[in-house]
Chains A and B, each alone.
Chain A
Amino acid sequence: MKNILVIGATSAIAEHCARRWATRGTKLFLVGRNAERLAMIADDLRVRAGSADCIATFVLDANALASHQPMLEAALGFLGQLDGVLIAHGSLPDQQACEASVDMMLAEIANNGVSVIALAARLANVLEAQRSGCLAAIGSVAGDRGRQSNYTYGAAKALVDRFFEGLRNRLAPAGVSVLLIKPGFVDTPMTASFAKGGPLWATPERVAGEIVAAMDSGRQVLYTPWFWRWIMLIIRHIPERIFMRMKL
């Protein structure tokens, strides 16, 4: 992939993907909300790439839906064509706070769900017309089943999951691959409030390596690390009658 658009480029997973792409000479258009951190990441990638001209940045709040089109035009202006897109922005809501505040719950759904499909809808049209490329987004294993501890986040990610299934089906004839990435527990700033460690926790470097490989190979769904596929297979198949009594 020669030209890649990264949305949510200050996320730890996206940054590690970008490092891999930069060292192999990919042209990158980085989109993020925090201008200062975006500039620091861009400088780092320029050093890794050994070139200043292959990285550009764009400051965007993904929830400002009206800014999506200008961002996309700037990206296309810089990259020429889109070989890959990674949508990586997101936030991990406090589920109990979302239960207390409907406004907060809807804001989380907007950030993790609505803004992602709004971007994907525009990008799908570009890629379909271009008849090539890979559209990838970071979903979550939490989107595979609603659980009391995390269902606001899970519902938003499930929205993205279903939307991406539909896009995949629509874009397959155009030769566009649509990838949904479902990481498990990743040791990033987003999960700062968790006690980490143990076999289920993965580093963002590892997850990024698997994402880059999955985008290269045109995969449809990536559970990362791999064992989450089997964990979620079991969790999805627990009968609802039993599941509703479980503390998950």
Chain B
Amino acid sequence: MHCWGNLDFAAPRKIVRPVSRAAALPSEPLLLARGNGRSYGDVCVNSDGTLIDMRGLDRFIAFDAQQGVLRAEAGVLLADILALIVPHGWFLPVTPGTRFITLGGAIANDVHGKNHHREGTFGRHVRGFELLRSDGQRLQCSPDDNAELFAATVGGLGLTGLMSWAEISLRPIHGPAIYQRQQRFRSLHEFFELNRQAEIESEHAVAWIDCLSANPRGILIAGDHCAGEVSVPSKKTLRVPLTPPFSPVNRATLGAFNQAYFHRPLAQGRVHYAPFFYPLDGILDWNRLYGRAGFFQYQCVLPEGSDALAEILRVIARSGEGSLLAVLKTFGTITSPGLLSFPMPGANLALDFPHRGATSSRLFERLDAVVAAAGGRLYPAKDARMPPALFRSGYPALERFCKFVDPAFSSSFWRRVMEQS
């Protein structure tokens, strides 16, 4: 079982599939629940440990279509939730850029979306869940009950125990349509101007950015749920059929792609929610495009008021490394509910880089230095290489969090950043 970045990690010793949400935990050390394996690095990897494959626990438990409350097993995909709730006039209150993740994974990584400035993280909309601990306890956790364990588990990377089910609040919508607006920007200054306005006017705002350009440029995309008819996108999806031996993403192809993408006609008007929120879900196995060596995603948040963002972009543009998917979004001031939640107020940048060994490592080290100096942090869900010191400096609540880690749970990520063998 691989991570989404197709990086080379040792296999788990064993894979266990719970037959039902009432099943007991395996009584062995080094447990880790795994959802759909869409984390880019090793938070979903448990080399030489026991992986609990949660995809079989994908049953709905209750759906209140009047109040917009859904309870489901942790292995249900967000895609399955949307298929159920959208026809009833409800939507996920927060959604990341793919719907092929599980409910449990969304909570364990406290994912965010394009509406962070309005709604905060996914965890803010979690009403409660059941947590199985290795001492045999089944604990109901919510912002009111077992509140500390709740805060540790939201964004807790699966380390506090096994989440069997969760209950979330939904957001009412008129239908599946989104009204979107796109605008080009040709400098960071212009981005922040447009973005500030977009965040006042719209629920959703995110920017694609050309990471090769010396002077940052890109397209800001804003959108709102709206009423009205919209054609359902075709069920047909593209699939990248095989993994090429080396990555076709290089300076030349990337430069041509970015040039064309920047100048493409801007979209304005109603679209279905799927292409708006999940453009890459239309291309199955797109991660194969980065070749057999796999790829890294570097996602950092930089506190407001620093010029670290410009510095990061300069380092990347100079390196010539970079990605098709470079995303810039500002996080709002809503406090994240989890002790290890990633979002904090500031600029959030995510870029993919093909795995090029030492070349990649050198670039990341330069970026790490800028992030650390600015008081920023990296996103564990995307990480496969951050140095332990950067993890410690980025997550000041780490010490409090450690008290809630279940002694039988661990992951390759955790052993790496905590320097446990």
Contact = CB atoms under 8 A, between A and B. Distances in A.
A37 interface: yes
A187 to B, nearest CB: 10
B19 A37 contact: yes
B84 A48 contact: yes
Interface string A118-131: 00000000000000
Given A36-B20, A37-B19, A43 B61 contact: yes
A37 B21 CA distance: 9
Q: Which secondary structure characterizes the binding site on chain A? A: helix
B20 A48 contact: no
Contacts of B62: 43, 47
B22 interface: yes
B84 A40 contact: no
Contacts of A48: 60, 84
Contacts of A41: 59
B63 interface: yes
B318 interface: no
Contact of B56 (A44, A50, A189): A189
A127 to B, nearest CB: 31
A153 to B, nearest CB: 21
A37 B56 CA distance: 13
A44 B61 contact: yes
**Residue with the highest number of chain B CB atoms closer than 10 Å, among A36, A40, A192:** A40
Given A189-B17, A192-B17, A47 B22 contact: no
Given A40-B59, A189-B56, A47 B84 contact: yes
B56 A47 contact: no
B65 A40 contact: no
A48 B65 CA distance: 12
Nearest to A12: B56
Given A43-B61, A47-B61, A189-B17, 9 more contacts: A36-B20, A37-B20, A40-B20, A40-B22, A44-B59, A47-B60, A47-B62, A48-B60, A50-B65
Contacts of B65: 50
27 contacts: A12-B56, A36-B20, A36-B22, A37-B19, A37-B20, A40-B20, A40-B22, A40-B59, A40-B61, A41-B59, A43-B59, A43-B60, A43-B61, A43-B62, A44-B59, A44-B60, A44-B61, A47-B60, A47-B61, A47-B62, A47-B63, A47-B84, A48-B84, A50-B65, A50-B88, A189-B19, A192-B17
Interface string A180-202: 00000000010010000000000
Contacts of A189: 17, 19, 56
Contacts of B22: 36, 40
Contacts of B17: 189, 192
Q: 6 smallest A-B Cβ distances: which pairs?
A: A44-B59, A47-B60, A47-B63, A44-B60, A37-B20, A40-B59
Contacts of A43: 59-62
Nearest to B65: A50
A50 B89 CA distance: 13
A41 B17 CA distance: 17
Nearest to B61: A43
A160 B200 CA distance: 66
A40 B84 CA distance: 17
Contacts of B59: 40-41, 43-44
Contacts of A50: 65, 88
Contacts of A36: 20, 22
B21 A40 contact: yes
Contacts of A44: 59-61
A44 B73 CA distance: 10
Contacts of B88: 50
A192 B16 CA distance: 9
Interface in A24-53: 36-37, 40-41, 43-44, 47-48, 50
A197 to B, nearest CB: 10
B190 to A, nearest CB: 47
A245 B21 CA distance: 46
B86 to A, nearest CB: 13
A192 B84 CA distance: 29
B196 to A, nearest CB: 41
Contacts of A40: 20-22, 59, 61
Interface in B65-84: 65, 84
Interface string B162-195: 0000000000000000000000000000000000
Interface in A95-127: none
Contacts of A37: 19-20
Interface string B87-113: 010000000000000000000000000
Interface in B28-76: 56, 59-63, 65
Contacts of B60: 43-44, 47-48
Nearest to A43: B61
Contacts of B21: 40
Interface string A54-67: 00000000000000
A99 B55 CA distance: 35
A23 B157 CA distance: 33
Nearest to B64: A47
Interface in A148-207: 189, 192
